[in-house]
Amino acid sequence: MANRATREAFGETLVELANEGVNVVAVDADLAGSTTLTKLGDAYPDRFFDVGIAEQDMIGVASGLSLTGRIAFTASFAVFGVGRCYDQIRNTVCDAALNVKVCPTHSGITVGEDGATHQMLEDIGMMRALPNMRVLVPADYRAAKAAIRIAAETDGPVYVRLGRHKVPEVYDETFVGGLPFADVRRPGTDVTIAACGVEVAQALAAADLLAERGISAEVIDVFSVKPLDEDVIVGSVAKTGHIVTCEEHMVYGGMGSAVAELLAQRLPTPQAFVGMRGFGTSAPGDELIAHFGLDAAGIAAATEGLLA
């Protein structure tokens, strides 16, 4: 399968769910072409609501729809769909544990040329801190389809992080995921590399580089950041004795922090953090991944540094 962006799974999966009789609706904030929700609007006009450039209203409308028994999805760019309406997500959706799914696209540094103002790097931390919220970060198009289905099947708030950037295939059509769920994509013995989202493919490529240097890296896809699949992560680290976490997100408060909190309680382990430590800049996504050390070479270097 050709490289595809995780956002491409959004609209078409909602159409599939509607075709299957699932009571899904979607609310968008004037970005339906980019979020791909136009697909649902074209197929089911009565299930799609565009509130314009009004993200707080988007969350409010979705909350109201959820109270009528609908499974309400929301979509915008991550910097708007989380940042501009955090108060509504916190106090309306999460406090009441409403059946609202927050699924923004265009997350992370790979938004690319839109620059720092549009590169949302704090959303995982913001969402995992909220009571009642679950957080899924799919690694590829098929994992994104599974995440959206899991969100629809799970009662209560769910955050699904989707991206603009086309990413390599990690899974085949049989992938179903879970909540919690982490998947050992490559076994190893010397170090664990735990990644999420676009970083999973980079981590697998880093494992190839490390293998050439005599280092056996176990690669885990942390598909579910909240709740964590604790036994898979702890089991891997118990074997390898070291862990590197990789995310297209700030190193503060994200998946790496969640793993560190887990290991501090269950199995204290030397850990290196690959991620962002400041704002991004404007450039193509692939160039930014390399520039900020989030590519395979950067992960391999961080791993060698930890083992040294």
Cα–Cα nearest to 228, from 286, 171, 188, 267: 267
Burial of 21 (0-12, 13-18, 19+ CB in 10 A): exposed
How many other CB atoms sit within 10 Å of the CB of residue 211? Answer: 14
Q: CA–CA separation, 209 vs 228, rounded Å?
A: 27
Q: Which two tokens stand for residue 199?
A: 């970083």
Given 55, 122, 199, 247, the catalytic residue: 55
Say how far apart CA 291 and CA 279 lie, in whole Å: 13
Q: Residue 16 catalytic?
A: no
User: What DSSP character marks residue 93?
Assistant: I
Place of tokens 């389809």: 145
How long, in residues, is the chain? 308
As annotated, the active-site residues are 55
